[in-house]
């Protein structure tokens, strides 16, 4: 394998090529588009229906990875996992419906064009993505992605086998929420992402979650009160869903889109942690990390 290529649907950015790190790039070139076109219309056409083919052929940008000289042997699964995790972090930088259908592992035959050797189906469809605005990315967003990715890689490396990392756990639930078809399941996963960061007790969860979230995100006493009330309401909704209850009328009639609210609070929380190595390092591992986290910040309200 000389290069791994993942075409990106519903993605817009300024410029033609943007480095991320460790051989990963966001790229746009006629050569990459030709490989995608050949895969979906010729070599592996039976994998895709008409709609999927047309969407993939319309992709202008690809996420790519080229192994360096000193890179040890990698498996298809490890490459796919890294691509998927970068998509997770992209969704934390911006609330974006960026998605894909496949990963192409390609070789060069001498100086000839790239030739697809293997194709892995890896659909990351975002439900109702046509209704979600597609934000335009810029250089600053890519710099943020690069910074977040450096912290996320460390968290992912700890979160495997018997190891546990609260940050990686929260990132995963944030992504599960994006991919969920059912709005109630989506809400639950965003709420669990918040709980993974902000709670450490099996009692008084609503109180500790609300207090910790408000203490971390608020910049003023007024904001702190607002964040506290929002987190309290989010946990109330989460409990109704988890215990099979309908939502009470005071929530149904309050005019707030709580689905969007919990999504944004999860994204802001993860972004703030990924943007500061001190926060990310304190969350390493499991146990009573959240209390130590807020004590170290000196932000416990």
pLDDT digit string (tens) for 111-149?
A: 567 888 888 888 777 887 667 888 999 999 999 999 999
Pairing of strands 136-137, 12-13: parallel
Per domain, the residue ranges of the chain are 3-137, 159-297
Distance of alpha carbon 118 from its chain centroid, rounded? 25
| pLDDT tens for each residue of 257-284 | 999 999 999 999 999 999 988 787 777 7
* Per-residue pLDDT at 57 exceeds 80: yes
The token pair at 150 is 């450096």
Asked if 277 and 155 touch (Cβ cutoff 8 Å), the reply is no
- How much is the pLDDT for 250? 77
pTM score? 0.89
- How much is the pLDDT for 236? 93
Asked if 55 and 125 touch (Cβ cutoff 8 Å), the reply is no
Asked if 24 and 65 touch (Cβ cutoff 8 Å), the reply is yes
- How much is the pLDDT for 25? 94
7-21 burial: b if 16+ Cβ within 10 Å, else e: bbbbbebeeeebebe
- Reading phi first (left if > 0) and then psi (alpha if -120 to 50, else beta), residue 8 is in beta
- How much is the pLDDT for 289? 46
């Amino acid at each position: 394998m000389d290069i791994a290529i993942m075409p990106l649907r519903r993605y817009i950015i300024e410029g033609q090529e943007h480095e991320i790190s460790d051989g990963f790039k966001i790229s746009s070139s006629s050569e990459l588009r030709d490989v995608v076109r050949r895969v979906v219309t010729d070599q592996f056409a039976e994998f895709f229906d008409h709609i999927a083919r047309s969407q993939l052929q319309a992709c202008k940008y690809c996420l790519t990875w080229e192994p360096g000289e000193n890179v040890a042997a990698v498996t298809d699964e490890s490459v796919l996992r890294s691509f998927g995790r970068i998509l997770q972090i992209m969704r934390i930088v911006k609330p974006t419906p960026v998605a894909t259908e496949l990963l192409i592992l390609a070789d060069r035959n001498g100086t000839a064009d790239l030739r697809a050797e293997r194709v892995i189906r890896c659909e990351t469809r975002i439900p109702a993505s046509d209704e979600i605005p597609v934000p335009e990315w810029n250089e600053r967003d890519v710099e943020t992605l690069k910074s977040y990715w450096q912290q996320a890689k460390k968290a992912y490396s700890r979160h495997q086998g018997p190891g546990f990392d609260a940050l990686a756990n929260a990132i995963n639930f944030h992504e599960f929420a994006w991919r969920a078809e059912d709005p109630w399941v989506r809400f639950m996963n965003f709420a669990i992402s918040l709980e993974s960061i902000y709670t450490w007790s099996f009692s008084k969860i609503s109180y500790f979650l609300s207090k910790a979230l408000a203490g971390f995100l608020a910049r003023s006493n007024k904001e702190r009160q607002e964040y506290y009330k929002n987190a309290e309401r989010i946990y109330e909704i989460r409990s109704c869903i988890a215990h099979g209850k309908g939502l009470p009328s005071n929530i149904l009639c309050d005019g707030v889109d709580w689905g969007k609210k919990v999504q944004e609070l999860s994204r802001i929380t993860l972004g703030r942690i990924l943007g500061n190595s001190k926060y990310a390092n304190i969350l390493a591992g499991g146990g009573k990390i959240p209390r130590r986290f807020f004590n170290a910040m000196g932000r416990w309200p």
